[in-house]
Amino acid sequence: MKNVVCSSLFAILLPTLSYAAEQQNHAEHTQDKHAKAHQATSGVEAMSASLRDLLTQEMSALQYGMMSIIPAYVAGNWGEIETTAGKMKNSYILKQKLTEQQIEEFHSSLPAEFIKQDQNFHYLAGMLEHAAKSGKPELINFYFSEMNRACVSCHTDFATHKFPALKAKKSSEHAH
């Protein structure tokens, strides 16, 4: 008798349990969908096309500047490094071409952490400029290395869509 009652109760509650599981799955799916939609409409994706183009130009100019430092460093051309670092400190494009409206859009579209990392990169470029002006190869190397680390950190945090190799590995993939 006890088994019949349990079986009957289970048969009655099964649709309810199934419905609750479906509702939970739907709620989780909807939350994931909204989170992804928010991610897609925040940050760089939320910027106007013209501002995204300027940011792309800026990143290309910074990449070119970073790459030009290596041959200048090994040749001991501190003046070239000073000039390049000064341009990077002052920003190639963003500070020169942005309207007030674009500056406001830039700051409202990007997360505060992106702005913080960007400011740190430009600070490091200023330190590199100073080290090059002082002719101190060990400091030039240090600040150049810090700038590279800053690039990778920012790309890891904000641009894995462009640099998928920088995506964090899942803990099950971690190996020592």
pLDDT at residue 155, rounded to an integer: 93
pLDDT at residue 7, rounded to an integer: 47
The residue with tokens 């419905």 is: 19
What are phi and psi for residue 104, nearest 5 degrees?
A: -65, -45
Nearest-5° Cα angle at 145, 60 to 168: 75
pLDDT at residue 10, rounded to an integer: 41
pLDDT at residue 34, rounded to an integer: 39
pLDDT at residue 110, rounded to an integer: 87
Cβ-Cβ contacts under 8 Å for 127 (sequence gap 6 or more): 139, 143, 146
Give the Cα separation of 167 and 44 in Å (integer): 17
The string of DSSP letters for 121-143 reads HHHHHHHHHHHHHTT-HHHHHHH
CATH architecture of residue range(s) 47-171: Up-down Bundle (1.20)
pLDDT at residue 145, rounded to an integer: 98
Give the residue among 139, 170, 150 at the shortest CA–CA distance from 59: 150
**Tens of pLDDT, residue by residue, the chain (176 residues):** 555 444 443 444 444 444 444 545 544 444 444 344 434 445 777 788 888 888 888 899 999 999 999 999 999 999 999 999 999 999 866 666 788 888 888 888 889 999 899 999 999 999 999 999 999 999 999 999 999 999 999 999 988 988 999 998 776 655 55
Task: Find out whether 44 and 158 touch, Cβ atoms under 8 Å.
Answer: yes
Task: Find out whether 156 and 166 touch, Cβ atoms under 8 Å.
Answer: yes
Give the Cα separation of 21 and 70 in Å (integer): 58
The DSSP secondary-structure symbol of 164 reads: G
Distance from the Cα of residue 101 to its chain's centroid: 23
